[in-house]
Amino acid sequence: MKVVQSLYLTPYQRQLLQKNLENNLRPEFRRRIHIILLADAGESQTQICKKLGCSQEAARYWISIAKAGQFYKWNDSPVGRPKIVNEQYIQRLKELVTTSPRDYGYAFERWTAQWLNKHLEKELEIRVSNYHVTRLLKSMGLSTKKKKIS
């Protein structure tokens, strides 16, 4: 086993992080741990970015976490944008798209992503883009388009 000169971590902390790499982690969390371990081993920000293909900002942030002795925060920060669409939203979207808009007092016969979005925003106070509504429908195998009969 190769002995690494540690700049910020105790041998136990380094071992703990390496043990976490054995788990089935999201790629973003794995990258955070790798950045901390490489920084601890004396790698520069540029070297880390080249090795891992990460942004300068990400490397700089996680290097500063390592320097501050807060290595344990690798899994504290959420990854990506917060999820605002919940299961209730998905279920309600499914219900709406399979019923007529006229049942809800609208004059038109077919839902559009825009109208589904407006209705759900009013009902559940969750705002997303029309495009996101279309993506959600597609992921559920649903659509606002009329099915073609051949």
**Residue whose token pair is 């190769």:** 2
pLDDT value at residue 3: 57
pLDDT value at residue 59: 95
**Cβ pair 79, 26 in contact under 8 A:** yes
pLDDT value at residue 85: 85
pLDDT above 90 (res 51): yes
pTM value is 0.53
pLDDT value at residue 111: 94
Q: Which of 6-10, 80-84, 129-133 has the lowest mean pLDDT?
A: 80-84
pLDDT above 90 (res 42): yes
CA quadruple 3, 8, 9, 14: dihedral sign:
negative
